Amino acid sequence: MKIGQILRYPSATSTYEKLDGLTNWYAETKAPDGKNWNAVKLDSGINTSAILPNSTHGVPYIAIRSSPHRFGTTTTPWEDIHRPDQGYCRYFGDNKPGEKVASESLGNKRMLDAYIKQTGSKEDRVSAPQS
């Protein structure tokens, strides 16, 4: 998968490589042979595969999705900024105001864990999600 690549995100999991002439999200993000993770769904802003029982691989990668057309609305007054060519992303997380503490949201937890691993020891960085 390449930054900026347009993929087809079907409503149901599919293994077809192409759908409507576009690369299928589920085919592109399926686990390689021997890896133990589920398909990553883009249901929220911060998305990872589930960490399956007996997995030693952890989270393979984090996919962030945003809805720029909602910026400035009452439900999304903030603006997420994605500049992949510069290696920069300012994303406001997956927790809605008043729901719970931001660090308790699953996506935010996974993002914080990835940050800790990426800035940790060599052993931590090896087990961090890949970019």
pLDDT tens for residues 63-97?
Answer: 888 777 788 888 778 888 888 788 888 887 777 77
User: Quick one: tokens of 54?
Assistant: 């007996």
The whole-number pLDDT of residue 104 equals 83
Contact 61, 72 (CB under 8 A): no
Domain parsing of the chain, residue ranges: 31-126
Q: How far is CA 30 from CA 1, 36, 111, 112, in A?
A: 11, 10, 21, 24
Q: pTM higher than 0.85 for the full model? A: no
Q: How far is CA 45 from CA 7, 34, 55, in A?
A: 16, 28, 24
Give CA–CA dist 104/88, Å, rounded: 24
**Residue 16 has what DSSP assignment?**
-
The whole-number pLDDT of residue 131 equals 55
